[in-house]
Structure 1
């Protein structure tokens, strides 16, 4: 999930609303062509360029048209507003932020468990996130469905998760936004989580049957857990509301692992996917050399996909 939890990348420096306004008004520094899809770097992708607002400006200059910030809900209101203004001024879309986060050290919540208080806490997180989404002009927010209860049958837990997601949909649907449930791998990063595959997320989303509850297809996690990426995307497409990239092994930029991202990008372009693709991974090389390599990696898959279309 969030890069700060995994310590993949260092976070950028905090910024004030005033500095955000100045950076947002900075003219473009290059004529880089826009990418063919809405790839979204995040704070830390271009850490050498300065703080959050400076990184957004730099990303826009390189042709990126979206931005992702998992930790946005934890930032002061003034910083959220400054980020939204910076994105708007550069014509960039806001990707996901995390609306509800498990307590990893405690393996909680158990949304399918016997304790209603844990489900109420989850719903309280969502109510608070509605205002964050409005400030950020975000129409997607990430939720993690917590951990498995080893004492209860999985079918009981699934029924309860569907029930609480229906209640969550009642909170989010009036805003026009959607929660995207993120399946996580258990083999490398997150043992014990409830939702482990895109297919499992699809089953829950179909049970909820609401445009406000969709699946976040993080292809790094899915490659580890199940593989078969394009057929899985195709089968579950109607319930997928957001996509994230990251190569495996290592969870770095495309081209550093085993996933053929050029083929996936070609498939997404053929599907006319217009949503955001979060670049939720690290840079394989530190510093500016790594940032340049990151940009080149996305140019390579974008161009290769275009040539093969």
Structure 2
């Protein structure tokens, strides 16, 4: 039975492979049939990436244009909004590509942005996930921040004309990653000062890095362009860890309603159980935490 949700949750491709099958186009239709209004893709498989990101979606960089066009039309025909997709890191392990001010590394980053803009147009994406990569320990933090601001302004020149917002992601995967907190993301977005550069408020990562999720939402609200979900520890569906997502979602709902906004909340997490049972458990979890108005 189709469910109507209070918030605009966006499952990712490969989240329902047991129920919908391996074909991504069938999965897109299945996600729409479940009652979701949006979809995202957080996979970034590529030959230079030494681990498998397929549980989070497809690696779109390197896909043929015909595949991307079909993906875009399938999403549109299903009545879904395409949320964000991940801009594959140009090198691995990540380096100080934009914090260093190195012109060659900046050109590699901007070349990736141009390809990302092409992919985004083909799939009908409204957002693209951009990482600011790593610290440059040879430079003061103020210089690194200024270099990141300059690079993001150049990137905005690429994404803004085609109607794509880059959402810069706060990450917790490694201590050398530059952007780790909501206040720094806020500083970068305010400094770039473009509608095409907003915060990807990833609640899983921010809970690990700083906590105080509701207070942080209020603090940086005006620069949030996109949310992502994941409980911690484990990075699985709400209700599997320490975070009170029912209260968080209720808070987001009322802030949005007061301003007439509707942000996408990407379901960028794993399942706590395998098989069809795990997919049903995930849906049950969302029905529970979305039931915050009763």
Residue 65 (structure 1) shift: 1.3
Question: How far is the alpha carbon of 1:198 from its aligned partner?
Answer: 1.5
1:69-97 deviation line (CA, Å, top 9, x unaligned)? 12333422222222222221221111111
**TM-score (norm: length of structure 1):** 0.84
Structure 2 residue 5 is the aligned partner of structure 1 residue 38: no
> What secondary structure is seen at the aligned counterpart in 1 of 2:41?
coil
Gap runs ≥5 in structure 1: 1-30
Which deviates the most, 53-62 or 233-242?
53-62
Does the CA-based 8 Å contact 2:96-2:136 persist in structure 1?
Answer: no
Offset, 1:206? 0.7
- Report how far residue 110 of structure 1 moved: 3.0
Task: Give the 5 Å matches for 1:1-309.
Answer: 31-48=1-18, 49-50=20-21, 51-70=23-42, 71-101=59-89, 103-105=91-93, 107-185=94-172, 189-272=173-256, 273-303=261-291, 305-307=292-294
Q: Are the equivalent residues in 1 in contact too, given 2:101–2:144 (CA < 8 A)?
A: no
By how many angstroms is 1:231 displaced?
1.0
Report the Cα distance in structure 2 between the residues aligned to 1:183 and 1:296, rounded to whole angstroms: 28
Aligned length: 272
Q: Which runs of 4+ in 1 moved over 2 A?
A: 70-76, 102-105
Is residue 61–residue 88 contact of structure 2 (8 Å, CA) maintained in 1?
no
Partners of 1:242 and 1:73 in 2: how far apart?
A: 22
8 Å CA contact retained: 2:101, 2:147:
no
Structure 2 gap segments, 5+ residues each: 43-58
Using the TM superposition, give the Cα deviation of residue 172 of structure 1 relative to its aligned residue in structure 2, in angstroms. 1.6
- Measure the CA separation in 2 of the matches of 1:292 and 1:231: 32
Contact map agreement 2:113 2:158 (CA 8 A) in 1 = yes
Secondary structure (helix, strand or coil) at the match of 1:97 reads strand
1:43/1:302 CA distance change after superposition, 3 Å = same
**TM, length-normalised to structure 2:** 0.89
TM-superposed deviation, 1:102: 5.3
Deviations 1:193-238 (A, max 9, x none): 1111121111011111110111100000000000010111111011
- Change over 3 Å in CA distance of 1:270–1:74 after alignment to 2: farther
Asked whether the equivalents of residues 102 and 108 of structure 1 are also in contact (C-alpha less than 8 Å), the reply is no
1:19-39 deviations in Å (ceiling 9; x for gaps):
xxxxxxxxxxxx412222221
RMSD: 1.4
**Aligned-partner Cα distance in 1 for 2:202–2:38:** 17
Q: What is the Cα deviation at residue 176 of structure 1? A: 2.3
Distance 1:32 1:190 in 2: 39
